[in-house]
Amino acid sequence: MDNMTIEAEWLSQILGENTRKGYERSIAYFKEFMKTESLEDIIKLRKEERNFETRIIQFFKWVQEKKDVTENSARAYCIAIQSLFTYVGAPLRLKNKLPKLHMKIETWKPSVKELQRLYSLGDISIKAWLSLSRDIPARISDMLRITPEQIESGEFLLQSKKEGVVGKCYISEETKALFRQLRTAKISLPITQAGIDKMMASACKIAGLEKRINQHLLRKIWISTAINLGVPEIVYKILSFKTVPQELLTYYLDRNELKDYWQKVVSALPLEHSNGNNGRVNNIEEALDLVMSALRKLIEEKTMTMRINVMTDKQIIEEYVRESNDRLRIKKIA
C-alpha cells in the first residue's frame, strides 16, 4: 500500500462492492462541494479547521438540492465522509447534528388494494418484478442475481451478499408464467438497482400511489405479513435471508412446513383482485361495477392518454360499443 493514495487505501478496506461504489460516489460529490480534486487538501483542512462539522451539515443540504436525492440518501453520503475521516484519524463530531438514517417510506404502508392497482396497471415487466418480489423477500442486490433458470426451477437456495446468509426461495406458478412471457416477448428486466428504481417509480406514478414503492418496502411488507400471520420467527428469517443458528437452518430447510408457511404469506398478498366468490357476482350493482371497471381499463390501454379521467360512464360505453361494433343496447347491459 506504500504507493497508494489515502483514498485508495481507505476504499481497499471496504469489502462490499456496492458499498465501495457508493463511497466512491460520496467522495466525488464531497470534492465537488468543496471545489477541489485533492482529498489530501480536504483532510488537511479538517485537521486545521475547528468547526469543520459545519461543512458536513452544509454538504448534507447541498447534495439534496444539487443531486436531487432524498434526505435518506444524503445521510448515507455523509456516513461515507464520516468513515473516511475516522480512517485518517480525524473523526467528525456529528452526534445529533444530522438526521438519523431511516426509511421514511415505512411511515406509509401501501394496502393490498394499492399493490393490486400497481400490478393491474403495470406492464409485463412490472408484473413480473412485483410477482418475484412477492415470492422472494430479498434485498435488491440479491434479487438482481436470480437467474431465469432458478425461477423456472421453482425452488432454490440463495446466499445474501450482505450478510452471507443462505435463504430458501420458492417461486409461484404465476411468477413462472410471467417470466416465460418476458422470454417469449424478448423483454429483459433492468439489471441495476437504479434501473429497477426508475421502473418502479414510473409505475407508481401511473398507478397514482402516494409514494414510490421500492424493494426495501416490499421486503418489509412481506416480513410484516408473516409476523401478523403468526409465522415462527425462525421460518420467516430463513425465507427473508436473516441470520439464524446454523443447527436450526439445516433442520428447517429439510422440512415441508417451510413451503407451507411461505404459501401462507404469499396467499395473503394476492396481486390480482378477486371478489372472493370464485368469479361470481352477487347483484346487478356489482356486475355493473365490474363492467365499468373493465371498460375503463380497456380504453386506458388503447388511448394511453388522460382523456379517460374526464369521460362520463355513458361516453365510455359508447366508445367501447363503437370500437367493438357491439350492437347491444346500453339498456340491455343494465
The model's pLDDT over 96-129, given as tens digits with 9 standing for 90+, comes to: 788 765 544 445 677 888 899 899 988 999 999 9
The model's pLDDT over 288-301, given as tens digits with 9 standing for 90+, comes to: 555 555 566 555 55
Q: Give the DSSP letter of residue 168.
A: E
Collapsing DSSP states into helix, strand and coil, what is residue 156?
Answer: strand
Nearest CA to 10 out of 93, 81, 59 is that of: 81
Which pLDDT score, from 0 to 100, does residue 236 have?
A: 86
pLDDT band at 155 (very low <50, low <70, confident <90, very high): very high
Nearest CA to 205 out of 307, 282, 306, 69 is that of: 306
Helices (H), the chain: 6-12, 17-34, 39-48, 53-66, 71-87, 112-121, 124-135, 140-143, 148-153, 173-184, 193-207, 215-228, 233-239, 246-253, 257-267, 284-303, 313-324, 330-333
Fold classified for 107-267: hpI Integrase; Chain A (1.10.443)
Rounded average pLDDT over 166-184 = 92
Which pLDDT score, from 0 to 100, does residue 58 have?
A: 93
Rounded average pLDDT over 199-204 = 90
Collapsing DSSP states into helix, strand and coil, what is residue 167?
Answer: strand
Structure-block grid coordinates of residue 82: 464520516
Which pLDDT score, from 0 to 100, does residue 280 have?
A: 47
278: exposed, middle or buried (C-beta count within 10 Å: 0-12, 13-18, 19+)? exposed
The yes-or-no verdict on residue 150 having pLDDT over 90 is yes
pLDDT band at 304 (very low <50, low <70, confident <90, very high): very low
CA distance 262 to 39: 50
Nearest CA to 6 out of 74, 69, 87, 80 is that of: 87
Q: Give the DSSP letter of residue 101.
A: P
- Asked if residue 20 lies in contact with residue 161, where contact means CB atoms within 8 angstroms, the answer is no
CA distance 257 to 15: 36
Collapsing DSSP states into helix, strand and coil, what is residue 105?
Answer: helix
Arithmetic mean of pLDDT over the chain: 79
pLDDT band at 148 (very low <50, low <70, confident <90, very high): very high
pLDDT band at 314 (very low <50, low <70, confident <90, very high): low
